[in-house]
Amino acid sequence: MTIILKNKETLVYDDFSFKCCIGRKGLTRNKYEGDKKTPRGTFTLGPVFFRKDKFKNLETKLKKVPILKKMGWCDDPLHKKYNKLIQISKKFSHEKLYRHDYKYDLLIPINYNSKNIKPNLGSAIFIHLTKNFTPTLGCIALKKMDFLILIKLINKKTKIKIS
């Protein structure tokens, strides 16, 4: 089955409907790094990354990856690890996965620009957490309870359609 972004504030999976938020500047088929837009298309999903200190027993059929303090996601278009999970370094730009706020306590990478990666076409596009539905920098964000329900329902064959 496929998760569908029905509109800019609704994510649908099977009979479930979840309020969400997307990129501050809406949707695009011509994504580039830093444009604050959510990419359109149908994409596979990565594993669930989670903070072990905040979640003990996640119920999901997806692979689970604990977030460590040195984990990051490279958003430097000039680096060979662009749009990949990395060990953080001050030598290049990245998103820290282990954050002081709650947003990345749970996240699923959306596999956008993840095969045959093109520099500057966008990186670190995730499904992550929100508390107040403030627009994101290009990700899709859900409330914690909805995220926990969604990860119980989906599996590694689930895709997301953003149109």
DSSP 8-state symbol, 81: T
What are the φ/ψ torsions at residue 124 (nearest 5 degrees)?
A: 55, 50
pTM, full prediction: 0.96
Mean pLDDT computed over 141-160: 98
* Domains, the chain: 2-162 (2.40.440.10)
Confidence of residue 90 (pLDDT cuts 50, 70, 90): confident
Percent of the chain with pLDDT over 70: 100
Q: Is 149 helix (H, G, I), strand (E, B) or coil?
A: helix
Q: CB 79: neighbour CB atoms within 10 A? A: 17
For 60-88, how does the pLDDT look when each residue is reduced to its tens digit (9 = 90+)?
A: 999 999 999 999 999 999 999 999 999 99
